[in-house]
C-alpha cells in the first residue's frame, strides 16, 4: 500500500498528489512515469512523475480529472492509501547540452516537463519554457519555472496572458528568435504534442514528445500501447514514452486512444453514484 502524503486541486480539474513510494523515488529520472491503481478494483493508469524526493521517498504527480480512475484519485485525502504505484517505467528523457531548448507544456505536461527542464538547465542549456492553457487561471508552477528558465512564454487561447491562440502561434515566435533553437520538447495532451510538432517541423527543430497511449502493464507485456514511429510499430511503455514528434503517426495514436471511449462513460452513465465516488468511500 502506498500512502498519500498530500493532495490538492491546483487549478480547476488539475490535481497534484504526492505519494510515498520510496523504491520508485530512488530510481526516478526525468521523463519517466509510474502506473498506479486508485483502489483494488481499479484500472492501471499511467501518469508522469513531475517531481520526487529520493530522501523522503516521495513522488509528485499532476493529473487531469478525466475519467473514473483520475476521478477517484482526485478524491484521495492526506493519509489515505492506494494499492499500486509501480515504476519508474519507460525510458528517461535524454538530457544533454543541446544549446537552446524550447520546452512546451500544456495541461499535466507543464508539471511533467519540470524535472526535464531542471536537468537540462543543470547541463547548461538555455531554457525557453512555453506554458499553454485555455486561460491564464489554468496555469500553474509559473514561479517554479521562472527560477530555472531563461525565458517563460505564455500562450492562452483567450488571450488573458501572453500570446493569444494555440501552440501554432509559436510559429512567429520561433521565426523572430535571434539565437536558433536547437531542440524542442513537448509534453501534454496528444493534440498539443501533434500541433506542436507540426509547428516546429518547418524549422527543422528536433522535437521530442512524450506519448500517452492507453496502457495496462507498462512493461512490454500487453502491446496495447503500440504506436507507429517512422512506419515501425513500437511499444510506448518500453521503447518510449519519448519519441521524435516528426516521426509519430498521430492519426493512429489519436484513433487508438479512442478505443474505449464508449465504455469509459458507462460508469458515469449507469448512475452518478455506483460508478465512482461512492466506491472510494466504502
Ligand X SMILES: Cc1cc2nc3c(=O)[nH]c(=O)nc-3n(C[C@H](O)[C@H](O)[C@H](O)COP(=O)(O)OP(=O)(O)OC[C@H]3O[C@@H](n4cnc5c(N)ncnc54)[C@H](O)[C@@H]3O)c2cc1C
Residues forming contacts to another protein in the complex (CB under 8 A) are: 23-24, 27, 37, 41-44, 68-69, 83-89, 216-217, 219-224, 226, 228, 233, 238, 251-252, 255-256, 258-260, 263-264, 266-267, 270, 275
The distance of closest approach from Cβ of residue 202 to ligand X in the complex, given in angstroms and rounded to an integer, is 26
Judged by beta carbon distances under 5 to 8 A according to partner kind, the member of ligand FES, another protein, ligand X, none in contact with residue 53 is none
Options 1-9, 116-124, 198-206, 221-229: segment touching ligand FES (CB under 6 A): 221-229
Options 40-48, 139-147, 164-172, 178-186: segment touching ligand X (CB under 6 A): 40-48
Torsion of CA 16, 10, 140, 216, to 10 degrees: 30
Q: Is 85 exposed, middle or buried (0-12, 13-18, 19+ CB in 10 A)?
A: buried
CA distances to 138, 234, 251, 258, 275 from 211, rounded to whole Å, are 22, 11, 13, 15, 28
Query: Is there binding between residue 2 and ligand X (CB under 6 A)?
Result: no
| 17 vs 101, beta carbon nearer another protein | 17
CA distances to 63, 105, 168 from 164, rounded to whole Å, are 25, 16, 10
The distance of closest approach from Cβ of residue 227 to ligand FES in the complex, given in angstroms and rounded to an integer, is 10
The distance of closest approach from Cβ of residue 104 to ligand FES in the complex, given in angstroms and rounded to an integer, is 25
Contact track, ligand FES, 155-184, x by CB under 6 A: ------------------------------
Judged by beta carbon distances under 5 to 8 A according to partner kind, the member of another protein, ligand X, ligand FES, none in contact with residue 256 is another protein
Per the structure block, which three cell numbers stand in for 66? 478525466
The distance of closest approach from Cβ of residue 213 to ligand FES in the complex, given in angstroms and rounded to an integer, is 8
SS3 272: coil
The distance of closest approach from Cβ of residue 222 to another protein in the complex, given in angstroms and rounded to an integer, is 4
Cβ atoms 130, 104 nearer than 8 A: yes
Judged by beta carbon distances under 5 to 8 A according to partner kind, the member of ligand FES, another protein, ligand X, none in contact with residue 27 is another protein
Query: Is there binding between residue 243 and ligand X (CB under 6 A)?
Result: no
The distance of closest approach from Cβ of residue 215 to ligand FES in the complex, given in angstroms and rounded to an integer, is 4
Q: Is 174 exposed, middle or buried (0-12, 13-18, 19+ CB in 10 A)?
A: middle
**Distance between CA atoms of 59 and 255, rounded to whole angstroms?**
31
Cβ atoms 74, 11 nearer than 8 A: no
**229 has which bridge partners?**
232, 248
Residues with Cβ within 8 Å of 154's Cβ and at least 6 positions away in sequence, in order, are 130, 131, 132, 136, 139, 161, 162, 163
**Distance between CA atoms of 88 and 119, rounded to whole angstroms?**
17
**Distance between CA atoms of 28 and 227, rounded to whole angstroms?**
24
Using CB under 6 A, which of 63, 98, 141, 250 touches ligand X? 63
Give the residues lining the site for ligand X (CB under 6 A).
33, 43, 45-48, 61-64, 66-70, 108, 112, 189, 212-213, 215, 241, 257, 261, 264
Give the residues lining the site for ligand FES (CB under 6 A).
215-218, 220-225, 235, 237
Amino acid at each position: 500500500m502506498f500512502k498519500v502524503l498530500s493532495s490538492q486541486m491546483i487549478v480547476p480539474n488539475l490535481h497534484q498528489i504526492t505519494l510515498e513510494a520510496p523504491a520508485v523515488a530512488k530510481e526516478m529520472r526525468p521523463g519517466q512515469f509510474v502506473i498506479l491503481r486508485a483502489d483494488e478494483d481499479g484500472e492501471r493508469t499511467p501518469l508522469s512523475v513531475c517531481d520526487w524526493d529520493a530522501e523522503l521517498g516521495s513522488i509528485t504527480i499532476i493529473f487531469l480529472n478525466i475519467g473514473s480512475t483520475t476521478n477517484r484519485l482526485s478524491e484521495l485525502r492526506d493519509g489515505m492509501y492506494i494499492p499500486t504505484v509501480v515504476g519508474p517505467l519507460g525510458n528517461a528523457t535524454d538530457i544533454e547540452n543541446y544549446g537552446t531548448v524550447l520546452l512546451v507544456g500544456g495541461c499535466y505536461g507543464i508539471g511533467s516537463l519540470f524535472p526535464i527542464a531542471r536537468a537540462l538547465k543543470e547541463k547548461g542549456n538555455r531554457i525557453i519554457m512555453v506554458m499553454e492553457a485555455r486561460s491564464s487561471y489554468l496555469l500553474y508552477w509559473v514561479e517554479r519555472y521562472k527560477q530555472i528558465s531563461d525565458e517563460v512564454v505564455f500562450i492562452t487561447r483567450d488571450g488573458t496572458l501572453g500570446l493569444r491562440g494555440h501552440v501554432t502561434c509559436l510559429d512567429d515566435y520561433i521565426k523572430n528568435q535571434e539565437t536558433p533553437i536547437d531542440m524542442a520538447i513537448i509534453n501534454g495532451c496528444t493534440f498539443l504534442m501533434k500541433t506542436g510538432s507540426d509547428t516546429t517541423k518547418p524549422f527543422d527543430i528536433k522535437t521530442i514528445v512524450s506519448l500517452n497511449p492507453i496502457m495496462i502493464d507498462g512493461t512490454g507485456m500487453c502491446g496495447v500501447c503500440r504506436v507507429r514511429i517512422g512506419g515501425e510499430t513500437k511499444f510506448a511503455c518500453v521503447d518510449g514514452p519519448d519519441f521524435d514528434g516528426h516521426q509519430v503517426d498521430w492519426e493512429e495514436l489519436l484513433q487508438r486512444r479512442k478505443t474505449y471511449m464508449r465504455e469509459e462513460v458507462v460508469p458515469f452513465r449507469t448512475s452518478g453514484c455506483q460508478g465512482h465516488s461512492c466506491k472510494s468511500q466504502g
